[in-house]
Structure 1
């Protein structure tokens, strides 16, 4: 038996299978970690986006919740691979793509992870700085009444310090911290909702007409791409310490519930606000934190702003932790703690650039990151389908090792499926950035680019379905994938 690590010791496991002696816990523990960093005020703006497609209030609520559930269930299914193998998700995808073939989707997953955490750290620092400006404008406001460099730097350093400390210690401390954050943020959000609900104009909710069936489906897909599909490369990272025989339904259920519950409640609030007061909805869509906190009295604005920052830090912690595992999956020969530190430096540099150097880069940066979801969704679809083969082979962790040791350098059926589907997906999505828009949407007419297909990221889901379908044909129907030496009894071995 291996000594079980505690929350006060630095996690030593990286992309190796977690030994059975270190496995513990129940799937219910997954709820808090997903809940804590999805209960963000940004969820209100998601509801406003779905409603803004041209749906009625009830249609937007149904479409949004349905999209959340569908995409989050996929995250839960992928998370089952964690307890079955003890591996992080981006290491287990080596089963499908091969050791070197896996580096292509893993690189984009890493880029996406790092990029979104840069924006989260930036948002956390500016949110805290705005609190200081409101409390002590003479000290922390500049000549224009905006956040001063001093205010931003103080919060920037504080956010980085907390995020790095928890992420370096690893899984056990993360699970404990996220549990407390889940309780704190949920209580404060309930109070926030109670204070915002009276501002909803209930008499105006029925003014918007119902949208078409196509627009409704577009709302479902938009919700899927906003929440859920972006988490496909995370699931197993937090479930891999569960015992090997943990029931799949528990992993799927608690993961799905932790994601869906907070974002669904906030989506409903966002839809009701936008349907009742279009001007409020427009303001909240552009600046959800600023527009919504302006409605609060000072006595609640202060603690709630701090909770907003905490919820953003919760998301940053899990993201930096997973990005460290992604670097290891790419083959970087360092410890998990070291890769986490490296990622923190990269993220800090990116956030510093956004905060203090560029005032026009953020929109382009986010537009680029949104396109990466095409690759992420396709990778997730192929990995989900490959679970059939992985289960049949007993979840043999040798498949994550180099060629000659049980794995493959690359599995062309998966790699070809990923590339073909990604090209099609990029041809079906659009971008708000004029430069990026020149290289995407090449399969859409000008009319389609302005319609539901172009504005809801339908191409992400289409790419996911094409990738999984093509992989199924090549691997299971035409059987073009030759058997490897991994077709043997499962072996609990270290993965390099």
Structure 2
């Protein structure tokens, strides 16, 4: 039983990832060959912009005012948090073009072929929870505004999102650009109305909000974690870019996309919370929009819901890659188009089965799961980025990532121990909905656990890897590159090239 790194079928002239026969992507957790690469750094920016461009992000803006911060302080805390969190997330983008692999597959280099199960379990739970939350919020919000059936809304959102996820990588980028061009002008109009005093709402009492240190740092931590949550999937959407893509341009593209949209809507959310005393983001957006002119609120609500269709699609797409990575640890799988489509359909079914019947009964559990998963992501991103930029400097034996007997082994104690040490360092500082550590309590609810996790995980991993046999790894990298060149340069027959077996290195000691 072995999976294959295959060269593609003959590609269409537009360089799409579909494989040339249908509009459905052929790839999943396998390597993207040079002839399939296409696109430019700034074309990926809309997808990461839309990832945060919904009333889910507006609701995040409610956090500051609800804890006693003024709108100004809430926006500042969010801006600083996003400045830090987006920094770590955006740097993962460079791994996609360099390696041509999903983010989780690349993590095998730090944790080992089997050790990556730690990351798979964490990210899989996180993105399943995201899909459930998106479904519940959209179904309940639109039902409350328009009186529509939550079941029908949930079905429409998930079926539409599922179809985009099934179509795959290029379709997700195209629909993100479409939604970007349609919705941004609408929010610009609303923002101008807010700034000019034409969006309604009441003026909060002058002494009702101000600066609260614990609230400020909570907003900072939540905002930083919000974009760090994208880290395990960034390369999923950059892996089709040409290998020579400018790292600086790509980092800037992802940073601007994810950072600007999040800060923009968080700022609007803070304003809505303070001026409308709102508890439901979509309803508040609808009411404020109608204050600008009649019917505009409905347009804004539908536009925001449309972005969650895209968010649901990207979550399902990445869940599929993560699930297949996990299954591959137990039983080697051939990553066919049919398998990816089947798992995507099952993921959408899970979203529906959990969200529609249970609704509010699971929203708190899902939100708490997200808080915990975001907490667990910090030491992973520290280990992954330290390895990529400071230890191996982007040099990986790609074929060895698909076998436990390759140069990275089945279990890599360095990454696993560094991860759990980083996690342990965070616990005393933690301020979570269901747990507050002793230092977090002593600091009055100020959450700096993310800083402890980043420092401990990155520094310990850096220290542990001082003893790595880099000479052996460089030999493996050269051998891997030669094998991949053989695949891409082999004569094609009826539009197909011979496969390179994942299990080809099984006999390697």
Please indicate the TM-score interval, normalised by the length of the shorter structure. 0.7 to 0.9
Instruction: Sort the Cα spacing of 1:358 and 1:121 in 2 relative to 1 into closer, same or farther, 3 A.
Output: closer
Structure 2 residue 388 is the aligned partner of structure 1 residue 395? no
Where does residue 259 of structure 2 map in the other structure?
Answer: 260
1:56 Cα deviation from its structure 2 partner? 4.2
Instruction: Report the counterpart of residue 240 of structure 1 in structure 2.
Output: 239
**Does 2:164 correspond to 1:166?**
yes
Report the counterpart of residue 441 of structure 1 in structure 2: 436
In structure 1, how many angstroms separate the alpha carbons of the residues matched to 2:440 and 2:252?
Answer: 40
Evaluate the alpha carbon distance shift between residue 154 and residue 215 of structure 1 in structure 2; reply closer, same or farther with a 3 A threshold: closer
Aligned-partner Cα distance in 2 for 1:447–1:12: 53
CA contact (8 A) 1:200 1:272 kept: no
Alpha-carbon distance in structure 1 between the residues aligned to 2:154 and 2:456: 42
Of 87, 96, 101 in structure 2, the residue corresponding to residue 87 of structure 1 is: 101
Question: Partners in 1 of 2:268 and 2:440 — Cα distance?
Answer: 35
Quick check: 2:176–2:310 contact (8 Å CA) kept in 1? yes
Which residue in 1 is equivalent to 2:453? 463
Per-residue deviation at 1:152?
Answer: 2.0
In structure 1, the residue corresponding to 2:97 is in which secondary structure? Answer: helix
Q: Distance in 1 between matches of 2:234 and 2:103?
A: 6
Q: Are positions 1:58 and 2:45 aligned together?
A: no
Answering whether residue 85 of structure 2 is matched by residue 71 of structure 1, we say: yes
1:319 to 305, 315, 318: 315
CA deviation map 1:88-110 (0-9, x unaligned):
11111111111111111111101
Q: Deviations over 1:315-362 (max 9, x none)?
A: 111111111111122234253553454344344334433332464232
Instruction: Please name the residue that 1:356 is paired with.
Output: 357
Q: What is the SS of the residue equivalent to 2:229?
A: helix
In 1, the alpha carbon distance for the partners of 2:363 and 2:30 equals 36
- Structure 1 residues 19 and 465, CA, compared in 2 at 3 Å: closer, same or farther? same
**In the alignment, what sits opposite 1:137?**
none
Match of 1:15, SS state, is coil
| CA shift in 2, pair 1:114/1:340, >3 Å | farther
CA distance in 1 between partners of 2:173 and 2:439 (Å): 44
Deviation at residue 389 of structure 1 after TM alignment: 5.3
Instruction: Report the Cα distance in structure 1 between the residues aligned to 2:191 and 2:386, rounded to whole angstroms.
Output: 40
Q: Deviations over 1:164-185 (max 9, x none)?
A: 1111111111111111011112
Contact kept in structure 2, 1:30 and 1:238, CA below 8 Å: yes
Task: Indicate conservation of the 8 Å contact 2:40/2:245, yes or no.
Answer: yes
Establish whether residue 249 from structure 1 lines up as the match of residue 248 from structure 2. yes
Query: 2:129, 2:48 → 1: CA distance?
Result: 19
How big is the shift at 1:485? Answer: 4.2
Work out whether residues 321 and 340 of structure 1, in 8 Å CA contact, stay in contact via their aligned partners in 2.
Answer: no
Instruction: Determine whether 1:418 maps to 2:419.
Output: yes
* Correspondence 1:189 to 2:187: yes
Q: Which SS does the other structure have where 2:454 is aligned?
A: helix
TM-score, length-scaled by structure 1: 0.84
Q: Does the Cα contact within 8 Å between 1:30 and 1:239 map onto a contact in 2?
A: yes
In 2, the alpha carbon distance for the partners of 1:171 and 1:329 equals 17
Number of matched residues?
458
**In structure 2, what is the equivalent of residue 307 of structure 1?**
303
Contact 2:70/2:211 (CA < 8 Å) preserved in 1?
Answer: yes
Which structure 2 residue ranges, 5 or more long, are not aligned? 1-6, 485-499, 504-509
TM-score calculated relative to the size of structure 2: 0.82
Question: Does structure 2 conserve the Cα–Cα contact (< 8 Å) formed by 1:15 and 1:329?
Answer: yes
| Residue 37 of structure 2 corresponds to residue 23 of structure 1 | yes
**Selected match of 2:134 from 120, 128, 135:** 120
The DSSP-based 3-state class of the residue aligned with 1:295 is helix
